[in-house]
């Protein structure tokens, strides 16, 4: 739809008449990325790109290491969803010791699910309240000083505090199962290294009823914000796409293990209950020279048409139902609002994220009554294999881990398709949509540029792990004219001080 804006007309670039605007770094996302725009003399956008400018290289440096290190090592990819990497790697190394998901002891399976519900709960809470709520509560072009969790805590203390506590609860679930809030251990080849004790279970039960209530409130908040701003919320950064996710065999929403389902933009089912162990036939990745992030696509549809979206919007769009009652009724209301088979609104990611938050809270509540969590039958054994694939629905979407090992248990090859990678084309398309529909032809200002970040933020991209300092992230905007002369600069220093200078 907006592909023509990926690369500006070379003749125009040659002519030297385009101005370049860079948003670097994109703030309140996980990791480091930048957006560049090329504008002509009338401020019409000729090119818009989201670049990922960092390089991690995990796939390379885990080569040569023993496979049992993988779940603990690769979770260091991220400080927000380490559990998802831990579990995707764990599912892969289960296969290396000959254990398929169906053969995992029930206790291990349920402990991992509990761990993962805690992960998705805390990650979704973090994203919605800490990173995105300032945009949603104060407006996309609000004063920059308002755009942080600190301002939310000042103006909406109840909402801010509930967000912090929701996240804390998810972190506590993780700590009880894996020993630490971030980067614990837990999953080992073929199972888990510890059951929950009764005391740990009781500790988590204390607050779960409150957590469900707060999750419902968060869902009501996002529903109100979205529906009271129609049609803007349905149109902003919106692109029509295909969706990929895991589902349960009965078609229900699934976060830990299932088959791959792909639906087209009209809701038609393109792939269903697909065994993820043959994903290399389903998906390929394309490399483009201007970014470190690859572009995955469905092999059968090719590079141009094969792109798809993953994450909460994909999962809620794709599933037939949710097996927890409150989240299911929220899903029904969500689907009803658009009147289409598929909801394509990019800002609806926030809405679906909160439906999943509620689903996680309800699921944790149900799981905590399951006596299997206390069972010490935790590890299954099998025959060694040389290849293992683990796929999971991470908070940001479908996550693929794929490893090969040699006869000495050493990793020889690794391939990771992280969730954000799958949304690469979509994020770029949304950036181009915003650039074309909302920015093109206007005099650019810092608040206006936040619109680009709002579009990217909706996907909750995990560009990698980065440390965040609230409101202190240094940011520089430069406007360079056709001759390459600096026209305008806006700098935010790490002290929070702004300097605006027109040349």
Partner 1 sequence: MSGTLCIDGIAVPFSDGQTIIEAARTAGVYIPYLCHRPGYAPYGSCKLCTVKVNGRTNTACTLPAADGQTVISNSPDLQHDRQRITQMLFVEGNHFCPSCEKSGNCQLQAVAYHQNMLDNHYPHFYAQRELDASHPDILIDHDRCIFCNLCVRASKEKDGKEVFGIAGRGIHKRLIVNSPTGKLKDSDISVDDEAAHVCPTGAILVKRSAYLAPIGERIYDHHPISEVACERAVLEAGAATGYPSCDQTKLPQNGGPDSHYAATMPPAPDIKHGR
Q: Which residues bind partner 1 (CB under 8 A)?
A: 64-66, 68-69, 71-73, 76, 178-180, 183-186, 188-189, 193-194, 408-410
Smallest separation, CB 185 to partner 1 (Å): 4
CA distance 475 to 472: 9
**Min CB(369)–partner 1 separation in Å:** 23
Q: How far is the CB of 64 from partner 1 (least distance, A)?
A: 6
DSSP 98-129: T--GGGS-HHHHHHHHHHHHHHHHHHHHIIII
Q: Which is nearer to partner 1, 111 or 126 (CB)?
A: 111
Q: For residue 419, give the nearest of 141, 85, 118, 138 by alpha carbon.
A: 85
Instruction: Look up residue 487 and give its two tokens.
Output: 């026209």
Please say whether the beta carbons of 353 and 189 come within 8 A: no
Our CB check for partner 1 shows the closer of 64 and 145 to be 64
How is residue 6 written in tokens?
């990926």
- Yes or no: say if 252 and 319 are a contact pair by the CB < 8 Å rule: yes
Tokens 């792909």 -> residue: 262
Token reading at 453: 């970040």
Minimum distance from CB of 110 to partner 1 (Å)? 16
The CB-of-258 to partner 1 minimum distance in angstroms stands at: 26
Q: Is the Cβ of residue 111 or residue 431 nearer to partner 1 in the bound state?
A: 111
Q: 372 or 409, CB closer to partner 1?
A: 409
In the complex with partner 1, the residue whose CB is nearer, 98 or 447, is 98
Q: What are the helix (H) ranges across 231-297?
A: 232-235, 279-282
Task: Look at strands 308-309 and 295-298 and give their pairing.
Answer: unpaired
Q: What radius of gyration, in Å, describes the C-alpha atoms of the chain?
A: 23
Judged by beta carbon, residue 332 or residue 410, the one nearer partner 1 is: 410
Q: What is the closest distance, in whole angstroms, from the C-beta atom of residue 183 to partner 1 in the complex?
A: 7
Nearer to partner 1, 96 or 394 (CB): 96
Question: 218-236 burial, b for 16+ CB within 10 Å, e for fewer?
Answer: bbebbbebbeeeeeebbeb
Q: Which is nearer to partner 1, 69 or 286 (CB)?
A: 69
Residue pointed to by tokens 């290849």 = 387
Residues 270, 238: Cα–Cα separation, whole Å: 22
* Cβ-based nearer residue to partner 1, 413 or 472: 413
Count the helices and strands in the chain (H runs, E runs).
Answer: 18, 17
**How far apart are CB 490 and partner 1 at their closest, in Å?**
36
* Minimum distance of partner 1 from residue 60's CB (angstroms): 14
Neighbours of 60 (CB within 10 A): 10
Q: State the nearest-atom distance from the C-beta of 366 to partner 1, in Å.
A: 24
Q: In 238-260, which positions are buried (b, 16+ CB within 10 angstroms) versus exposed (e)?
A: bbebbbbbbbbeebebbbbbbbb
């Amino acid at each position: 739809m907006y592909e023509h804006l990926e690369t500006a007309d070379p003749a125009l670039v040659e002519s030297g008449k385009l101005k370049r605007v860079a948003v670097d770094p994109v703030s309140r996302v996980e990791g480091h990325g930048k957006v560049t725009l090329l504008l002509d003399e009338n401020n019409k956008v000729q090119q818009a790109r989201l670049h990922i400018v960092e390089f991690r290289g995990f796939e390379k440096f885990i080569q040569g290491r023993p496979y049992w290190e993988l779940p603990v090592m690769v979770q260091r990819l991220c400080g927000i969803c380490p559990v998802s990497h831990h579990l995707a790697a764990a599912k892969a190394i289960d296969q290396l010791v000959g254990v398929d998901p169906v053969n995992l002891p029930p206790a291990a399976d349920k402990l991992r699910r509990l761990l993962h519900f805690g992960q998705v709960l805390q990650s979704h809470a973090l994203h919605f309240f800490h990173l995105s709520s300032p945009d949603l509560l104060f407006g996309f072009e609000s004063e920059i000083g308002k755009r942080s969790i600190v301002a939310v805590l000042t103006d909406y203390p109840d909402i801010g505090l509930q967000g912090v506590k929701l996240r804390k609860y998810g972190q506590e679930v993780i700590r009880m199962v894996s020993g630490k809030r971030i980067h614990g251990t837990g999953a080992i080849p073929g199972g888990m290294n510890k059951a929950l004790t009764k005391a740990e279970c009781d500790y988590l039960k204390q607050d779960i009823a409150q957590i469900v209530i707060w999750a419902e409130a968060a869902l009501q908040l996002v529903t109100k914000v979205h529906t009271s701003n129609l049609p803007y919320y349905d149109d902003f950064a919106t692109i029509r796409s295909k969706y990929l996710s895991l589902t349960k065999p009965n078609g229900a929403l699934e976060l830990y293990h299932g088959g791959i389902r792909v639906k087209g933009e009209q809701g038609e089912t393109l792939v269903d209950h697909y065994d993820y162990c043959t994903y290399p036939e389903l998906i390929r990745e394309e490399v483009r020279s201007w970014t470190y992030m690859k572009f995955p696509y469905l092999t059968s549809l090719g590079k141009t048409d094969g792109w798809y979206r993953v994450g909460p919007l994909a999962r809620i769009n794709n599933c037939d139902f949710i097996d927890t009652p409150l989240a299911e009724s929220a899903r029904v209301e969500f689907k009803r609002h658009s009147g289409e088979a598929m909801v394509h609104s990019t800002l609806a990611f926030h809405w679906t994220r909160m439906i999943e938050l509620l689903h996680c809270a309800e699921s944790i509540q149900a799981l905590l009554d399951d006596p299997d969590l206390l069972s010490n039958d935790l590890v299954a054994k099998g025959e060694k294999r040389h290849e293992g694939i683990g796929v999971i629905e991470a908070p940001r979407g479908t996550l693929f881990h794929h490893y090969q090992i040699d006869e000495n248990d050493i990793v020889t090859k690794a391939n990771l398709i992280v969730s954000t990678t799958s949304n690469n084309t979509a994020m770029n398309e949304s950036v181009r949509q915003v650039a074309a529909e909302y920015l093109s032809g206007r005099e650019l200002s810092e608040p206006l540029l936040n619109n680009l970040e709002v579009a990217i933020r909706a996907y909750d991209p995990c560009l990698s792990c980065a440390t965040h300092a609230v409101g202190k992230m240094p940011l520089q905007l430069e406007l360079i004219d056709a001759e390459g002369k600096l026209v305008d600069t806006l700098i935010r220093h790490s002290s929070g001080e702004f300097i605006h200078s027109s040349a």
